[in-house]
Chain A
């Protein structure tokens, strides 16, 4: 039974003396190796060059602010419930009078920690968030020498302030807008 049209019968005749010297076959193999010298190198020299990630790549988390620099997060806990790896911990606090320029709503996350050791970067927190307060950026989590450095606190997660650091904010926003929703 022939499964494909390309099937070729194997030649099982004994080799002649000239064939058994393998000279022609060695030359053929060497020629293939030689032609690879002139082919394009597939290697990316990683630390100097980087590959662009996919639009849907999910990297480190970012806590979002609105255009005036107020934090979006209201500590509702939906991200923590949605998280399959239970990596998110938060503590809620109530906004005091005079803090309206810091937090957008009456409740905010006083403590917000993501344990990158456990996080599997699935993006369910981003999908669960009703306030557009957390999203996953285009940078991967860097390596570290100890476990301690992987507990990301709120100050590491927050997006740069749009008024105090407009360039950093713009850069982070561009990364986000490149994503396909």
Chain B
């Protein structure tokens, strides 16, 4: 992964420098600009997942925690994730976020599969909670880094 990243970064650096000498009014852009809708969508999905985990933790082993009670919830969660993925794919230079949102969709489907097996013990959710935190923090960190980059560019131009 890092090898690919380094190679890609080196090529982009070279291409960027060459382009900067050729193209008028130049600045380079390798990553999509910050998108508030994307950030809000990630946060909203995180809120839903956190609510679900808290509910199952409290009720694990009872009828209230059974998967059948959450079919509609998962449908809505998958719709929200699909919309995030579609938007991410539609934005230019946004392949990383698009791939991340695709992985988030896979992770949510896995979470649903885990729930279908019957979670009778809240201890099973400990690794799930850690994973959720890693995923959402990683995705938000990238979106906020885009925002900082954009804000910095605007400030300098002013």
Whether chain B is bound by chain A comes out as: no
- Residues on A close to B: CB < 8 A? none
- Residues on B close to A: CB < 8 A? none
